Every structure is written in structure tokens, then in C-alpha cells.
Amino acid sequence: MIVILKPNPNEDQLESLKSWLIGKGLQIHMSIGTSHMILGLVGDTSALDIDLISALEIVEDVKRVQEPYKNANRKFHPEDTVIPVGSTQVGGGTLTIMAGPCSVESREQIIAVAKAVKASGATMLRGGAFKPRTSPYSFQGMGAEGIELLKIAREQTGLPIVSEIMDASQLPLFADVDVIQVGARNMQNFNLLKVLGAQPKPVLIKRGLSSTYEELLMSAEYVMASGNEQVILCERGIRTFETYTRNTLDISAIPVLKHLTHLPVIVDPSHATGKYALVAPLALGAVAAGCDGLLIEVHNDPAHALSDGPQSLNPDAFDKLNRKLIALHGFLKEGEAAK
């Protein structure tokens, strides 16, 4: 970490800062320029609060040189993490397709969708039992019953299931869910992250609407530091000034995250845009940009979905899209192999 001091810093404050830093076990390299003095901190700075230091009166700016995340950092773990889930895996060259309805609504619905997406080549079934809704007056999901229906659909198709947890108190219900999803609005629910780090199921973390790459990785770090290294990252659109789409899908997140971390990166084009016509081009774009998989909403009857349905594809449209995605993934892998 580098601390840039303001010109002519107060000496008492400088001494106080230096002894505080030394007390944290750090070495200080001072470097004096024409207008500014710079402190280079050597040692483990991951527990240092950058905001704290940068707000000191004598400090002009602070620059972290090492990333504040360790377990998630590719520098210390160069090999891609591959996460086995049922008979499939996430990462390691597999194209993971998590498909299914936004909300589980009935036994018939979830089984029908599960069978359809399985037939089209999906590798996992996703479905929401607990739904985070902006309005207290909106449908909040089937809850525990929804989880049970997902398990029945898994039994009938063999597809592992992915579902969103909203609160640590719901954890017992997720004991037999294959991948536990943390929603964008809970990305910095640190208590929930810690609890998920202390259980054995893989955790899929969605990027918050205004979260930086580093913050997403720090949320992964919370889970990993608590003992669970099976974390999947999911880009699902960020909030920008553009309102034509619900959010702005940030496809750069794919190569950036793949560079910074060894964790698998998947993309959710359905939620990002809120417009089903954009799902196919963005899903293709995400695969070409190198993602490890996609989270795609599929509904057996979009017009009657109770929740978020309209951004869903129906099984026919999904079938057409998924065949293209698989073909594209195959084409790109061949290209890599030919090198």
C-alpha cells in the first residue's frame, strides 16, 4: 500500500500515523519527492482500512498495491477452480446452463420446465422459492414448498437445482439444494455470507447492482474465509443512467474477473435486460467473451408467469438458443485446441 502525504505534513500527525502502522506489523519505506512525501507499506495490508487512512488530515491519497482478497485471488491460486455439482461441474471448460423459471409456481410447472430444459441440453435447473421483491404487496414466492417442488423436479430429471436464499434463518431448507444462490441485493449481507461459508454447498453470488469487481470478490472472500471455497460469481447487470434496459449487462466483467480470480464466472442475461428479445444476443456474446455458463429464465407459459415471467423464454425459444450456445461453445473450444 502506498500512502501519499499532503505537502508539508504536520510532524506529530505523521509520527502518530507511522507508529500506528508499525503497530500493525508493517514496514515503512519513505520516499521524498519535490512536492510530496510517499510512504510505501510493506507487509500484510489486507486488514488495513484504506478509507481510514485516506481520510487523515495529512494524507492526500492512498493506493492499494496488493488486492485485498487472498483466497479468491488468481495470483495465489493460478489454476481455475472447478466445482462439481451432481454429475456435472461448473468451470473447467464446461458450459454450464442453469435454466428454469424465475419463480416455482406449481408442481406441474416446474416439472414441465425441468423436462423441457433438460431435453434442450441445460445442465442445471434454477427456480426461485423465496423471491426478493421491491414491493411488500408482490408475490414473495412459495417458500419451503417451492424448494420441495424443485427437489421433485430434480428427481424426475437428474438436473441439480439452484435456488436463492434470502436470510440465514432459511439455511436448513437449503441443506439439499445443490447450489445456493445469493441475490444481487444480498451481495453485501455479510452475516449471510459468513453463514454460507460455514456450510458445504457451492454458493453462487450475484454481483450487486452497483458493486465493483473488487467488492464482488470481497464478498466471495467472506464465504471462502469462512471455509467454503466453492464460489461461483455471476454478472447480472449493473445500474447505469440508461433506462431502456432494466440494467446494463457488463460483459467486460467476464474477462476481468477471469483475470483477477480463479473462480468460475457465469452470466444472467435475463435479469440484466428485462427484455426477452435481448437474451439470445447477449447470451451468445457472453459465451464468446469466455464465460463459464449462463443463468437463463425459461417458463412454460411466459404470458402467465406470476413473477418476472416476461423476460423468460419459452421452452421452444430456449431450445433454439441453447443449441446455438452449445454449438458456439464447441466452435470456440475447437479454435483454442487448434492453436
CA distance 292 to 329: 10
Q: Smallest distance, Å, CB 201 to its own copies? A: 19
Q: Smallest distance, Å, CB 142 to its own copies? A: 16
- Helices assigned H by DSSP within the chain: 11-23, 50-54, 107-119, 144-157, 190-197, 213-225, 253-260, 269-273, 279-288, 315-338
CA distance 41 to 81: 31
Give the pairing of strands 265-267 and 88-90: unpaired
| Cβ closest to its own copies, residue 152 vs residue 320 | 320
Q: Smallest distance, Å, CB 258 to its own copies? A: 8
| Cβ closest to its own copies, residue 174 vs residue 222 | 222
CA distance 240 to 263: 26
Give the pairing of strands 161-165 and 203-206: unpaired
Q: Which three cell numbers stand for residue 116?
A: 423441457
| Cβ closest to its own copies, residue 159 vs residue 283 | 283
Q: Smallest distance, Å, CB 233 to its own copies? A: 14
Q: Smallest distance, Å, CB 118 to its own copies? A: 23
Distance (Å) of CA 161 to CA 125, 153, 174, 256: 5, 9, 10, 28
| Cβ closest to its own copies, residue 27 vs residue 156 | 27
DSSP state, residue 39: E
| Cβ closest to its own copies, residue 41 vs residue 149 | 41
